[in-house]
Amino acid sequence: MSLPRLTVVLASPRGFCAGVARAVEIVESALRQHGAPVYVRHEIVHNRFVVEGLEQQGAVFIEDLDAVPAGAPIVFSAHGVPRAVVAEAAARGLEALDATCPLVTKVHLEAQRHVKSGRRVVLIGHEGHPEIEGTLGQVPAGRAVLVESVADVAALDSPPGEALAYATQTTLSVEDTATIVAALQARFPDIEGPQGDDICYATTNRQNAVKALAPRVDAVIVLGAPHSSNARRLVETARRAGCARALLLERAEAFDWSALEGIGRLGITAAASAPECLVDELIEACRARYEVTLEKLSVTIEDVRFNLPRALTA
């Protein structure tokens, strides 16, 4: 019996961004240099496949520095950490390796600059996300406030004449963020913005690729973790761009293939924390069930790379 036909369209750019690749490389380099175990505060990136692979090499993921023996190496995740965590690691004599994405560090420095200039920072993002916790932890308590929506902007308590600035989480929806920024600027005309966009190049590029992909296919699969902000934003972007059947999938082995019933063209992309091997795995799973024709859709070429900390390159 012949297999049904399926055209698979691969969006590009997809998968690992420079910040994620650097963070994973930092953990792997630390393991080679120090041997196991190397401790990592929080998931290095939001992808269980990546985390479990590093655990197999000897990485130990923790949430509290009390779990780290004195003098042991500790890696801070790509999402960044509050300044208090850095100070605690130093006080305990831990060898800290900072895997914070440089584009997140840029937001940290902006927030600090604004506070030093007397402004309160309005931070656009998702409550509870580790990147938000890290950015809020860069400034004294009360000098930054989180907003998640236009409604939050309307409810923001700000005395007349207060100097304000805004910054954003790096993995947000471009459209949602623009709407919130517009609301801030309408209510606070003198609010100061960032020097350059806070939403990172990789988030923007992957969302733009999905916008181009969605009208050309019957369904879109986004490979990524359910707790990954940029993965969820890609699903939302696909639906807004005209593909109602947009799905988030961690691994091909977990997929309910009945979701593709009646599909002739399938778009595939991967969140910035999802490795390319998961894309390959899904394509092979498709080939086991369909006669697959592969197409590629690219909106830009990425050539960004971030250097490792000097402690790992000396």
- Catalytic machinery residues: 131
What span, in angstroms and rounded, lies between the C-alpha atoms of 71 and 82? 20
The single residue listed with the structure tokens 């393991």 is 31
Residues 6+ away with beta carbon under 8 Å from 96: 73, 74, 75, 76, 86, 89, 90
Quick check: 266 and 286 in contact, CB under 8 A?
A: yes
Quick check: 104 and 78 in contact, CB under 8 A?
A: yes
Nearest alpha-carbon partner for 9 in 299, 298, 301, 296: 296
What span, in angstroms and rounded, lies between the C-alpha atoms of 187 and 106? 26
What span, in angstroms and rounded, lies between the C-alpha atoms of 30 and 313? 10
Retrieve residue 23's tokens: 């963070």
| CB atoms inside a 10 Å sphere around CB 158 | 14
Q: Which is it for the CA torsion 275, 276, 277, 278, positive or negative?
A: positive
Retrieve residue 174's tokens: 């471009």
